[in-house]
Structure 1
């Protein structure tokens, strides 16, 4: 067994189904995962210090600035994620951006503002209800330079060498084939393009009951890989200048992701950066 294996008999298709069903439920719930009385919503945004039920407060806790939270109209902010990829992407006007697991579009709309009308943003999500919600939010945000496509992040519906930056927020851990995700990101990037994502990394072995629990998987816990494993995957995909920086202060929100155990005993949020060679 490697440091990315889990002791389950779950197939890749079953894992994708579990994740898709959870996020379809979030997309079709008007309160999102931050509804004041969520239905089995542990692991997405319970918040701390009185922020439960407040997606804006959750976003601020994850590292979004007030002006970023206020800039996006509609219900694009579902309070999901484990960091702020915008803070590390360093986007320039005119760039093309690809968001892996774009959800209701929050990060896409922030990226669209950063790259301006001469740039473009493509969001990819495998959940039809999320794509539909994101497209509705595009209208609310007058985001003519944003497009949302239905697809799996292991099989991105974009041409080779078509984007400058790949971003993602706490989604790669949900994939049953992370090496393929990074190979696809590498393929989509232009030479010299960069990867800038926020995700969770495993810091200690999960107990068997956590790895076997479908809710732990879809709540961004059981699918996390170690830093060493992620570094190896990125290097094997062809990336250089790989840098994975854990954020110790993420314990304060990760511990709220489950009721019957403390996920921060096994996880930490991290900033993951890499570059495609020129």
Structure 2
């Protein structure tokens, strides 16, 4: 897929999810069928039930990121806005939580969820994570939830993250990482890419790219692995268009133990 094809596929999937949530008769995505997204905020005091229902992440970066009152936070690929709203409450009225998303439908949903939660210190911006529409050195913390793996140009994303962070700012994201290489044939399956699997980086490559972008003290902490039963539940990502010579069982064999959810940390030196 070209970079534009990838953006279009990702935008299409998440626009459809947002429209489903915005439709009063529709409800949002059925997270119970996707082991990557299920159960991430259990027990959390979430500011918006509809934002929780629309969450399509692979972790809970706000539970792991160190946020302090007065800080400015940027969520790359903010979707329905849950992590932005949680961050806004943690940084308090003297801080601001910014959400960035390229999908109009998700931005509409996030702003509706913000109004429902009554949170004033949050702002949502339209744009791509490869070209962040914010000034240099404008935020203290960057978070993201299972979005960087969706980008076709991860070097650009991490370079932008370094640019907008202030000195001694923190990069603290949840994402999918590969623990070993997967066959090239699986990289081209659109459903696996938009489902946050086939676009993921090897954990070692993630660390190398963070360093290349100028970020230091990088680490990858595995937070969730997936067993074969969970992989079977993800089979709808593959759909009916199997790569030539592949069966669904062979794809599951190739993915078994190959990827995990992780929390990735790094820092911009002051």
SS in 1 for 2:207: helix
Count of matched residue pairs: 247
Q: Note if 1:73 corresponds to 2:69.
A: no
Instruction: Please report the TM-score for the alignment, with normalisation by the length of structure 1.
Output: 0.84
Return the alpha-carbon distance in structure 2 between the equivalents of residues 140 and 266 of structure 1: 39
- Select which of 120, 133, 136 maps to 1:160: 136
Instruction: Please report the TM-score for the alignment, with normalisation by the length of structure 2.
Output: 0.86
Per-residue CA distance 1:179-220 (angstroms, 9 max, x = gap) = 110110111100000000010111222234421111111000
User: How far is the alpha carbon of 1:102 from its aligned partner?
Assistant: 0.2
Please, what is the CA RMSD of the aligned residues? Answer: 1.9
| Contact 2:76–2:99 (CA under 8 A) maintained in structure 1 | yes
Give unmatched runs, 5+ long, in structure 2: 22-26, 237-247
Q: Note if 1:46 corresponds to 2:33.
A: yes
Q: Which runs of 4+ in 1 moved over 4 A?
A: none
- Select which of 156, 172, 185 maps to 2:161: 185
| Contact 1:45–1:79 (CA under 8 A) maintained in structure 2 | no
SS in 2 for 1:29: helix
Return the alpha-carbon distance in structure 2 between the equivalents of residues 218 and 102 of structure 1: 15
**Distance of aligned partners of 1:229 and 1:45 in 2 relative to their CA distance in 1, 3 Å threshold:** farther
Residue matched to 1:277: 269
| Contact 1:83–1:269 (CA under 8 A) maintained in structure 2 | yes
SS in 2 for 1:205: coil
User: How far is the alpha carbon of 1:138 from its aligned partner?
Assistant: 1.0
- Select which of 168, 187, 194 maps to 2:170: 194
**Distance of aligned partners of 1:113 and 1:264 in 2 relative to their CA distance in 1, 3 Å threshold:** farther
SS in 1 for 2:140: strand
Q: Residues 91-240 of structure 1: matches in 2 within 5 Å?
A: 91-240=67-216
User: How far is the alpha carbon of 1:257 from its aligned partner?
Assistant: 2.8
